Structure 1
């Protein structure tokens, strides 16, 4: 009977070790996939930001130069108008696609995943038999939390660009006189 208990205990340890190893591999694969994806997205947004901003700068500089020249024909004025239109269009594209904001956000998120991967690899270095399953689950919860933050930040960045705020003042920056006119219960007695 003691031998059966010992065999069952060792079998249970092996099963637990296999479960922990599978969880570690799953989390590691997910993290590495996110790092690769965010690296590509950050690079695309970085190149987009540089390309559009360069176009805006070049066209902004060329426009007044072309207007300043007074040639015999109006061809340079036409080029100036084209450059001016490209500048306006480039600015709209840059603002709409939020290249810089997304580039920065992707880099920050990628760095968080790199840190999480380092934590996982450090935990893994102690061997599957020495790892508490709760620690692996906690790292997975961090992974989920980072993913949720990426989604929230993406929605925030896109909604800030898609829906212009007609009142640039913050809603929380209401002075006391405005608050009193809105809510009569906040009036101070003299």
Structure 2
């Protein structure tokens, strides 16, 4: 029996400098991991990208493929955006899929693939009014947004601990979401005024 496939999608937030810890934790939990980084996050790993390729056994993607290029990644059983930055949260909530990372999860929600997101940003960033709207919009779409006691509680500015990011909590929630029966996404009918 083949392993289930997890797309682990990391944004340019503190814990991404330790994304290898997240990959290892997911592999220990029985997932085959396909790693996708936002373009900014990919810059953090540019010199050591080979380590992540070796760890996952697959290409690490950060850009949309070109027309005519084949798919390098298998079909996902679940997608986990962790860590989710404040910038990517607000772009995703507004429907702006200008990166492969956000494009994949935006489409996956509509395809009935379990999508989870665990944020990592500080309380000052979290007070921006767009944050609450974006969280509400993602939850309304069916995204499992993991914050507070069920995920990550925002830290005070300049007091985060990216090495202590709760990967186990995110992966437990992912396992639970992936084990639920999938329901077909609802179709909305366009109306004309």
TM, length-normalised to structure 2: 0.22
Give TM-score scaled by structure 1 length: 0.23
Structure having the larger proportion of residues in helix: 1
Q: Which has the higher contact order (CA 8 A, sep 6+)?
A: 1
Structure number having the greater strand percentage: 2
